[in-house]
Amino acid sequence: MLSSQKEKKETVRRRVPVAEAVGMVLAHDITEVRSREFKGVAYKKGHIVSPADIEPLLRLGKDNLYVLDISDDDLHEDDAALALALAEAVSGKGIELGGMPKEGKIRLIASRDGLLKVNREALLEFNMAGDIMCATLHDNTYVKKGQEIGGIRAIPLVVKRSIIDAAVVSALRSGGLMSVRAMRKPKAGVVITGNEVYYGRIKDAFAPVIDRKIRDVGGEIVGTYYAPDDVAQISVCLRELLDEGVDLLVVTGGMSVDPDDVTRHAIREIGASDITYGSATMPGAMFLVAYIEKGGIQDGANVSERIPVIGVPACGMYYRTTVLDLILPRILAGEEIGRKELAELGHGGLCLKCEECIYPRCPFGK
């Protein structure tokens, strides 16, 4: 059956012989039944009748169809121009169209590994336009090349061009609703602190955890040092790693408020600035982020490099997922992390400590 639409209301109107219905749009599924062989949908709602459909429709007993008139101001849900215009307006760098639209849905795919960034205010404005919608994965999700990260859909069978135009203008004005930022592959230096590990009283459990997390984002460990709870010795280890050319420092342990937890003091001692201690997450409240300005000569010119320092509290050793998993991809995507960014984690920052961790397919950090 086909139907006619005025504004947003679908109503049955004009009956048309099937031979004259080419180019018109089915408003309902048409069922085919073959004795003891098949019963199901032969033509889905939204199908555009083609010349090749005439004989099969007649065999199904459809001598007449009811029409959905599409004016010059209307676009069918699978219109290619609609798909391309919306996808181009919505998508920033690192995103590509996942084929042509099907049943009104346009798939958006990550064209590279990286960090998904979603402009939530612009996404809301886009979805307020009506008759079209866009849904995405959560902001700050680490995605892989080829992964579906969003979708656009026309809600009714036909959409007014004016609505599409308004949505496109809105998306373009905001610079796109989403993008996938490339992430650098870090050369990390690790310092594991604590008298109990340094003097061999317990076996270190931190190094394998940090090594796995760095390698999961395509990085490498340049060196791993062990230091007691001593500001001078921790500082020496950090400086040696900087001299080895690391572009990320990860320091574990000694992050609580006990008098012998001096890791934060050592980080400050080597000249770190913009030190932010404490994040609104559980686990990971005693997390630290800081930055070190490192100068050098490259191609005969003076250059300055800003190296992130991450202080991971003891929870990073015990829990599979912590604030480190939320913040590391953002740092590698070039984001500057400070008090505001760590405070914003409070909404969704409570880990449920599930018996079997399914992160990132869970609410933690979202």
Residue 340 and residue 191 in one domain: yes
Residue numbers of the domain that contains 156: 74-181
Q: Residue 7: pLDDT above 70?
A: no
pLDDT at 27: 64
Q: Residue 231: pLDDT above 90?
A: yes
Domain with 39 in it: what CATH number? 3.90.105.10
**Between 148 and 18, where is the model more confident?**
148
Q: Residue 195: pLDDT above 70?
A: yes
For residue 365, tell me if it sits in a domain: no
Domain end: 66, 88, 106, which one?
A: 66
Beta bridge partners, 11, equal 4
Q: Residue 308: pLDDT above 90?
A: yes
Residue 293 and residue 247 in one domain: yes
**Between 114 and 130, where is the model more confident?**
114
Q: Residue 295: pLDDT above 70?
A: no
Separation CA 365–CA 323 (nearest Å): 8
pLDDT at 158: 73
292 neighbors 275 (Cβ within 8 angstroms)? no
**Between 107 and 7, where is the model more confident?**
107
Burial status of residue 21 (CB atoms within 10 A of its CB: 0-12, 13-18, 19 or more): buried
For residue 364, tell me if it sits in a domain: no
pLDDT at 44: 76
Residue 153 and residue 243 in one domain: no
pLDDT at 4: 39
pLDDT at 17: 86
Question: Average of pLDDT values for 33-40?
Answer: 73
Q: Residue 238: pLDDT above 50?
A: yes
Beta bridge partners, 74, equal 160
Q: Residue 1: pLDDT above 60?
A: no
Q: Residue 6: pLDDT above 60?
A: no
For residue 359, tell me if it sits in a domain: no
For residue 42, tell me if it sits in a domain: yes
Residue 259 and residue 341 in one domain: yes
Domain end: 139, 158, 181, which one?
A: 181
Residue 84 and residue 134 in one domain: yes
Q: Residue 362: pLDDT above 60?
A: yes
Domain end: 48, 66, 84, which one?
A: 66
Residue 21 and residue 132 in one domain: no
Residue 122 and residue 267 in one domain: no
**Between 213 and 105, where is the model more confident?**
213
Token readout for 295 is 């100068």
Domain with 318 in it: what CATH number? 3.40.980.10
Which range among 47-56, 96-105, 147-156, 349-358 shows the weakest confidence by mean pLDDT? Answer: 96-105
Q: Residue 28: pLDDT above 60?
A: yes
Domain with 164 in it: what CATH number? 3.90.1170.30
pLDDT at 5: 40
For residue 291, tell me if it sits in a domain: yes
pLDDT at 24: 77
Residue 195 and residue 326 in one domain: yes
DSSP strand pairing (158-160 vs 187-193): unpaired
Residue 139 and residue 221 in one domain: no
Q: How many domains, in total, are found in the chain?
A: 3
pLDDT at 66: 64
Residue 253 and residue 337 in one domain: yes
Token readout for 111 is 């064209």
Mark out the alpha helices in the chain (DSSP H runs).
54-59, 80-90, 120-127, 161-173, 195-198, 206-216, 231-243, 263-269, 315-318, 323-332, 339-343
Residue 175 and residue 219 in one domain: no
3-state secondary structure of 345: helix
Separation CA 88–CA 257 (nearest Å): 51
Separation CA 332–CA 217 (nearest Å): 9
Separation CA 18–CA 326 (nearest Å): 57
**Which residues make Cβ contacts (< 8 Å) with residue 34, sequence separation at least 6?**
none
- Conformation bin of residue 278: beta by default, left when phi > 0, alpha when psi is -120 to 50: left
For residue 261, tell me if it sits in a domain: yes
Question: Average of pLDDT values for 47-67?
Answer: 82
Residue 283 and residue 328 in one domain: yes
Question: Average of pLDDT values for 160-169?
Answer: 83
138 — phi, psi (to 5°)? -65, 145
Q: Residue 14: pLDDT above 80?
A: no
For residue 352, tell me if it sits in a domain: no
pLDDT in tens, 104-114: 788 999 999 99
For residue 327, tell me if it sits in a domain: yes
